[in-house]
């Protein structure tokens, strides 16, 4: 009974800050400006599917790049001494102590046509590069901002790997590559799933990074939702798009969890 009572504050928190907002979004998505029930908002979101597909693609690309960078970094950190691990993880998390907006604006100052990088290139006789207001700049901004969310879960899993299993594989004659492919990689799969989920979910729904670094050339579903909510006449359409995005995020998380559970069952077998 006491254990159930301890969960009541969390249930109240979920009801106020999760369930109620979801219900409000669903209400506006299924009503018109006068409050009458309608499915037009849901039926009309098909015109925004190209933007949604582009957002998913950019989210997948950003997650893949974060994984390619984050896995080796997390693995190297997990192999260092305890004091070094604390110091390196502090460096990884240090940018997160700064405002998300400031971190993004810093990249604007670096990448803009008259920014720090192009001024340096001009000073050494190299033609300035077009970096701002491009898809590459958006991906760069997402990778920079969300990379710690990939490294932290990977590091947590890799740090807890049983070294006896790795030593046993080495004693049985497995090469370093086979040890990684057959032992380390499967055992770290839960960390990979967690990291990809934690990067993909905010990446696919971001709007500030794309508006500042991508400009009009790169539009994501978050930008479209923001524009509709800024216009009172389009609030219901914005709510419908938000509902669609939430369904997409929940579906992706469900798929990721299924992969994680299936991998865990395989390792047990």
Q: What is the pLDDT of residues 185-242, one digit of tens each?
A: 999 999 999 999 999 999 998 988 999 999 877 889 999 998 888 876 688 999 999 9
Reported as a single tens digit per residue, the pLDDT across 74-124 is: 999 999 999 999 999 999 999 888 888 899 999 999 999 999 999 999 999
Question: What's the number of domains the chain is made of?
Answer: 1
Residue 165 lies in a domain: yes
Contact between 243 and 228 under an 8 Å Cβ cutoff? The reply is no
By CB atoms closer than 10 A (0-12, 13-18, 19+), residue 128 is middle
Q: Could you give the CA distance from residue 75 to residue 155 in angstroms, rounded to a whole number?
A: 7
- pLDDT recorded at residue 267: 46
Residue 227 lies in a domain: no
Which of 256, 255, 239 minimizes the C-alpha distance to 193? 256
Residue 30 lies in a domain: no
Domain CATH number, residue 122: 1.10.3720.10
Residue 228 lies in a domain: no
Which of 146, 56, 45, 139 minimizes the C-alpha distance to 95? 146
Q: Which two tokens stand for residue 164?
A: 């006896």
Confidence of residue 3 (pLDDT cuts 50, 70, 90): low
Residue 35 lies in a domain: no
Residue 240 lies in a domain: no
Rounded to the nearest integer, the mean pLDDT of the chain is 89
Q: Could you give the CA distance from residue 5 to residue 199 in angstroms, rounded to a whole number?
A: 34
Contact between 169 and 179 under an 8 Å Cβ cutoff? The reply is yes
By CB atoms closer than 10 A (0-12, 13-18, 19+), residue 94 is exposed
Residue 161 lies in a domain: yes
Q: Could you give the CA distance from residue 263 to residue 269 in angstroms, rounded to a whole number?
A: 10
Return the sign of the alpha-carbon dihedral for residues 205, 208, 209, 214. positive
Residue 14 lies in a domain: no
Domain containing residue 182 = 48-222+245-268
- Helix (H) / strand (E) element for 122: namely helix 116-123
What DSSP string runs through 14-81?
A: HIIIIIHHHHHHHHHHTB-TTS-B-SHHHHGGGGGHHHHHHHHHHHHHHHHHHHHHHHHHHHHHHTS-
């Amino acid at each position: 009974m006491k254990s159930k009572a301890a969960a009541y504050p969390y249930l109240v928190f979920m009801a106020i800050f999760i369930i109620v907002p979801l219900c409000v979004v669903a209400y506006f998505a299924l009503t018109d400006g006068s409050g009458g029930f309608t499915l037009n908002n849901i039926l009309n979101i098909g015109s925004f599917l190209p933007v949604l597909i582009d957002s998913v693609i950019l989210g997948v690309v950003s997650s893949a790049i974060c994984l390619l960078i984050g896995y080796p970094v997390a693995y190297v950190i997990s192999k260092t001494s305890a004091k070094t691990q604390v110091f390196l993880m502090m460096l990884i998390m240090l940018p997160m102590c700064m405002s998300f907006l400031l971190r993004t604006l810093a990249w604007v100052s670096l990448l803009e046509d008259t920014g720090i990088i192009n001024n340096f290139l001009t000073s050494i006789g190299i033609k300035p590069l077009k970096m701002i207001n491009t898809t590459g700049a958006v991906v760069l901004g997402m990778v920079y901002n969300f990379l710690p969310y990939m490294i932290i879960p990977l590091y947590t899993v890799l740090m807890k790997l049983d070294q006896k299993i790795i030593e046993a594989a080495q004693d049985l004659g497995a090469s370093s590559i086979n040890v990684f492919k057959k032992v380390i990689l499967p055992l770290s799969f839960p960390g990979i799933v967690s990291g990809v989920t934690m990067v993909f979910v905010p990446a696919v729904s971001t709007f500030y990074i794309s508006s500042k670094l991508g400009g009009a050339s790169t539009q994501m579903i978050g930008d479209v939702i923001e524009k509709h909510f800024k216009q009172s006449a389009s609030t219901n359409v914005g709510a419908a798009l938000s509902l669609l995005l939430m369904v997409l995020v929940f579906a992706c998380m469900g798929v990721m969890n299924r992969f994680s559970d299936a991998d865990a069952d395989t390792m047990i077998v």
